[in-house]
Amino acid sequence: MANYESEHTKFMREWLEKNPAELTEKQKGQALWWDKTPRDLATQKIDIQAAVAPKAYYYDVN
């Protein structure tokens, strides 16, 4: 069972071999949505100062 490979995996492997540019697009998308880049201290300080403290009771309208 260690040699099993799904049809989807086979399809994706073949498709990426035929379209190698899609691999770089995939990496760009991953970097955009998932990879967190370190930020400088000035930006972090601005974010902390801009944060709004939550209310004691979250559902209070006032």
pLDDT tens sequence across 8-47? 999 999 999 999 999 899 888 888 888 777 778 888 899 8
| Whether the Cβ atoms of residue 16 and residue 22 lie closer than 8 Å to each other | yes
pLDDT at res. 1: 57
* Sign of the C-alpha dihedral computed for residues 14, 28, 24 and 40 taken in this order: negative
Do 23 and 16 contact (CB within 8 A), yes or no? yes
pLDDT at 58 over 90: no
How far is 60 from 52, CA to CA, in rounded Å?
Answer: 15
Phi, psi of 15 (to 5 degrees): -65, -40
* Domain range list for the chain: 7-50
Pick the residue with more confidence: 35 or 1? 35
Q: pTM of the full predicted structure?
A: 0.44
